[in-house]
Structure 1
Amino acid sequence: MRPEKIEILQLPKSVIGRVIGKAGATIKDIRERTGARIDARDQTEDPVQVLLSGTLEACEHAKALILEVADGALIAGDSREVGREAAAAAAAAAAAAVSARAASAASDATSPAVEEHLELPRHATGKVIGTKGQQIAEIRQKSGAQVDVDKSPTGCRVRFVGTQSQVDVAKAMINAIMTPPTDSGSGEYLEIPRSAVGRIIGAGGTRIQELQERSGAKIDIDRQPDRCLVRFGGFPDNVQLAKTLVTEVLEGRDRTQLAEAAATMEIPPSATGRLIGPGGRQINEIQERSGAKIDLDKGRDPCIVRMTGSADAVALAQVMIREALVLCSFSLGCKN
């Protein structure tokens, strides 16, 4: 299996409509032509961060097509989609780039670019990238280095390019992220059950985004082989509020504030083993990815699967469960 590359493009908010296209037609076409996964759902900030993932070839192809569409939008000057805002954003970006090059020209002359790599376990990928690419974008911005993440079945390789000082800063930031806390129950960390990760993140990251906006703190999920930690950052008052909100989610006390949905499915007893997976891995993954809470009642025939959470989370959980059952039906047999 080829290693997976993850890259983030920053585009002016005013060109995103052209990149996505009417009813998502343009971005869908780029996905189909390149095979890359493209996520441009978070458009709350300007510039918008577009997350690309897939093989190196797929990401490079998708990047070229997206930039071609974005450049076309800027050149066209269509006031309905681009207008003065896009031109101003492009000019500001260009000016910033020129200013940055001018400011660092003297040091670059004596400090040639270097390339270094850092090998990390596969589970570190999410921590380095962060929610919707926020963590890696912050590392790039603060260090000045180009930072790319290549994912493979066996691990995660981080590539740094820049001056030696830039690379050192970027590596130090990643090492700080990877350093496990000595006390997970106090300070800026909170240990949580692996099955609760999905509830905190929510469908498409909506829950964790809301918790960050309400608290003013930065919240990241640190998945480790033996435990999961919630990492908080910000001013003490904001961190304390964020921990309170996360605790409310874990205890279910947030349900009066967030709309809840529920659904049930019937499955044959022979399919429960496939749904649960070895050591609960399959059902935990569905909970993490969907954001829904899933309970399985094996005391009836057929067995009852209960899903609770936001409407989007429950809908996604239903799709994932059906996919697991389809795989089960095509396997040599489902064993409980």
Structure 2
Amino acid sequence: MGGGHIGGPGATSPSQRHTDFPLRVLVLSEMVGAIIGRQGATIRTITQQTRARVDVHRKDNAGSLEKAITVYGNPENCTNACKRILEVMQEEADNTNKGEVPLKILAHNNLIGRIIGKAGTTIKKIMDDTSTKITVSSINDINSFNLERIITIKGSIEDIAMAENMISARLRSSYESDLQAFAPQSAMFPGLHPMAMMSTVGFGLPRGSGAGGTTTGAGMGMYGSSPTSYPPLYPTPMPAQQGYHGSEAAEESAYLYIPNSAVGAIIGTKGSHIRNIIRFSGASVKIAPLEDEGRPTEQAERKVTIVGSPEAQWKAQFLIFEKLREEGYGVGVEDVRLTVEIVVPSSQVGRIIGKGGQNVRDLQRQTGSVIKLPQQGTTTSEDTTVHIVGPFFSVQSAQRRIRAIIQMSAPSSIGAASTGRPSRGPLMPRMHQ
């Protein structure tokens, strides 16, 4: 996670951790040394006394003024650990004449409205009950790669700890109700934790774009219509996460085709945008060079190879679709439509097509994407390329369902499906706008 972490005796195991809703706080980088202590002594004492697990993300965002700390554990333990961290920071501030130390809680944008309440009633009541002053950072400060809002609490350490406990309880219950509301959608995306879906819902996508052509897509529209409400993964958006079911999540390969004219936007100034995509998603993302460099070319598209877990695929592909949408590659009210290719074992093609093409017709109807693959028996190689065309949620749903079909029917073929080699067969026209 880009920093040290120390688990107390009551800390959760990695397999349990994705079910927790941790406390995330932002501290001044200059305070990190005091929080960790000499040879980790201070942070070790905090974890032992509070039975919470504390992750200090000190290697992330090198050179930044502030660093994130994530605290895992039950609510009481998280609050106690937070209180101890505040005490350490206040002591450090006193020694350096820095004055009062506020607590800065990082919170998912989609949960902020429920902290503030209608006309600010909820946050005002918390302030009144705890004798604290609480402010929330502007929605304008977030974007695709700066994903959380900051709740700043000022007051005495006792009062701040009380306010944190009340805010965290509300964040936790709001998150759990969101997760529950999202659960029915997971049937559209087998093999993917609902939290990964929640990681992209509501970020400026036109209402009506989505899986199956429904007006809400994969739960779209649940969270209000703010164009900048791109949530991170609710519990912890650290980029090194390797999936929600443990780090053993199988790597998959997918090939996304983007207009040649959009390559510069995806790469960004000096590679900044593609680096952010890689960092946030945890996937490997590589754009193929022009096929015929040095001479004028009619090549309309470039192949992007994405390798990573299901969750990494979701995030990387979303960010590419989203960038193209921002750059105006959708047509009118139509969302951006791209081709994604995945490679499946040729032995499974018949199962995907179904009797008389019934399965593939059902897949197209249910996901809203166009799916093309050769007739069964027409390919002689071990692998077959499946072409999927549509907007983001449609192609994601199709990918997940096709991979689930393969996984259920041929466990021994999973590796071939997820690490497939590029096809040398003829490719269809890939941009349908």
Higher CA-based Rg = 2
Query: Normalised by the size of structure 1, how large is the TM-score?
Result: 0.36
TM-score where L is the length of structure 2: 0.29
The structure with more helix, counted as a fraction of residues: 1
